Structure formats: C-alpha cells, structure tokens
Copies of this chain bind each other. A is one copy, B any other.
C-alpha cells in the first residue's frame, strides 16, 4: 500500500480531486488486481476500480478494500458519472496512457473540470524495487536460467529456430514461470543481425552462432537475458567480435553505481565498441529497466537524463550487428547497490563456455 499512500498524500498536497490511472500495469502495481481492462480512480478519500462483468468477482476477491464499479454503457461514461458525483474539480490523468479519444470523451462528459496531464508519476516510483519485488525478479531470472540449461543440449544442427524457442517456452513454464516475458528471439546465423528477429523454420547450420533472447514471467515480474551459442566451427573473426561485446558489457557493468548518469553506462560500452571500429553496428541503447514490464524505467541509452539510484534493476546488453553476417548480443540483469551493482543473472558467457 506504500504507493497508494504516496499518491493520496500528493493529491492532498497539490489540492487535486483525483488521479485517473488508465495504465493496467500501474493499476496492478498499486492494487495487486490481477485482471485487465480496468481503470482506477484514486481520490484523497476513497478509491474506485471501474471494470466490467468479466472481472467483478475477480476484483472483489483481489482487492476488497477498493470500491468496485461495474461499467454500464461505456467505461469512460461510468467514470465520468462518478467524477461528477464526487464533485472533482481538478483531475490528474496519465498522458502517456490515456488515448486522445478517452481524453475527448472525458472532456465532453464532465463540464468545467480541469484536466491536468501528468507523465510517469507511478512509473517513477516503480524504478526502485522493493524487497518483495526483488525476490520475484530473482525468481523470474532463476526460472529463465534453469529453463535455458534444460534446452541447451538441444541447440544442434538441423533443429529449427522455432522448435528451439518452443522447447524453451515449455521449460520456462515447467520450471514455474507463468509464461515467457516476451516472444522468444531465437536467431541462427545471419538472421541474428536483426536485433528483434522473429523465429522462423530455418534450421541451425554447423557454422551458425545462435542468439537466444528470452525471459520468464513470475507473478507478473519479468526477466530478460540473451546468450549466444556456437554450434561447431566459428570463424576467428566472429570470435573476436564476441569478445569485443563481452568486454564492452563488462565495462558497462563496472561503471554502474548510484549517483552516476545512466548515459555513462551506455557510453562505457559504446565507446569501447566504437574504438574497435564497430560504432555503426550498435544502434540501440545499452539497457532498460525491467520489472512488471519488460521495458520500463530507467532508460539506459546515450540520451538518457536519468541518474542511477540504489534498488534500480536494469539490463545491460551491448551488441554488434552486421547485416548478411550475423549478430552478437550479451544481456544480463543488474541491481544497483550502495557501491556498484550485483549481477543478478549467471548463465556462463566466456568464449570457452559458449562453444557447444
């Protein structure tokens, strides 16, 4: 309930009648409600969850301390009715998650109220993880790693990208995960030059490097890891590239500490990759926060204005991508501690470990 209390305090201090939360993940973060397609209205006094018939019983079980309002004609009209009855004069909305149409409908159905767009209030709280969240994240990582160890012996010539991904999905669930955190990326050979390649029926060839990017969802919390496997004979050139990415990742990990700019972590990896002549082959940010969403704050890229704080959890995942040849990405998850960071994931990644 800590987040809810903070929000109520904020509303009182800023003399605002209500905060309308249309981001489902934020609704779950605040209330632990397990359904979807529902909207939360927080006011200094009471709180209301607007939902439909499908989730009424579920909501009554999950969050009996919040007033459940079943929608009548439309969710937004039901909400507007409540806003009027509560005589709310000033309403905060989440401008990153309210659609233009919802905004328009609220404006038309509530006359004379002052709608104030806000950005990322709850996402801001979500960046620093509580002990309970850290336990769930660590479990999500452990499940992902156990599943990967189970399928590693199946990374063989003749097996298709899709088959491998399907085995991994099954093992993630088998190890206690609810599901994959996202569609598993399994890209063999040249296909790995597409950072977010979709799996295909392509089978693994003995000269392939196989990139797997996967994660497990456990009680709504996620993990996200990437490893490369070399099936048989990999060129010396490709091994050199692998080592550059591995070293770049190490520099980035070593640079993490509270008080540091997030962009410095990005720079640590990017600068090294550039020095080795691959600046044009690393076009995405070095990492992203992770928790209830696979991609959340803090942003770790060269334009990030964020400052690292203790208890933040994010990925560190530099890469080198060469169209027509292939790609290397190595991704781990770290937790910022008082003096640096703990690397939370542990699948081996030295060159000697990844040759099957």
Contact = CB atoms under 8 A, between A and B. Distances in A.
A48 interface: no
Given A57-B194, A95-B104, A196-B35, A173 B179 contact: no
Nearest to A58: B194
A117 B105 CA distance: 12
B104 A284 contact: no
Contacts of A117: 100-101, 104
A179 B184 CA distance: 11
A42 B144 CA distance: 41
A154 to B, nearest CB: 14
A263 B342 CA distance: 57
A103 B97 CA distance: 12
A278 interface: no
A323 interface: yes
Contacts of A102: 100
Contacts of A284: 52-54
Most buried by B among A36, A96, A103: A103
Interface in A125-172: 162, 166, 169-170
Contacts of A97: 99
B193 A57 contact: yes
Interface in A77-122: 93, 95-104, 117, 119
